[in-house]
Structure 1
């Protein structure tokens, strides 16, 4: 049964609605990747390292470096998601 909201719209408006929904879905997915990258790669290793209670070893620098890299990747993915949302049409 067709939705009364979309069936009464002209074809161009319906295409714009579909395009907007696809853009929002893609942006949500990319932003989810950003959150996962931040949590798993950027935050969890730092919490594990800091809660270990042992002095920082030589590997700590690598962990800090990889965590920083994950933070940068997470930010870039978030900006990509925002860019996808700019494709929305009024």
Structure 2
């Protein structure tokens, strides 16, 4: 019985990290891209290299969070 509880806790933690990764991707990865495409005034004032570096940093954070979620699943017990 304890394995079932631990497995569920691990799955919840994995879902949490994965959802954080998706939110990070949407916020830091897709929003600047859409803003740049639509030529939003906020993004017009930001220099291109700064915007690109910030977007890459957000994408990297999203990948790390997704990886943490995947890593949680490796601890599941039969």
Q: TM-score range by the shorter chain?
A: 0.7 to 0.9
Task: Show the counterpart of 2:70.
Answer: 82
TM-score by length of 2: 0.87
Moved over 4 A (4+): none
CA distance in 2, matches of 1:58, 1:87: 43
Rate the CA distance shift 1:27–1:58 in 2: closer, same or farther, 3 A.
closer
| SS in structure 2 of the partner of residue 87 of structure 1 | coil
Task: Show the counterpart of 1:5.
Answer: none
Unaligned 5+ residue runs, structure 1? 1-13
Task: Show the counterpart of 1:41.
Answer: 28
CA distance in 1, matches of 2:33, 2:73: 31
The structure whose RCO (Cα within 8 Å, separation 6+) is larger is 2
| SS in structure 1 of the partner of residue 47 of structure 2 | helix
TM-score by length of 1: 0.77
Contact 1:24 1:85 in 2 (8 A): yes
Q: How many residues align?
A: 76
Question: What's the CA shift for 1:60?
Answer: 2.1
Task: Show the counterpart of 1:68.
Answer: 56
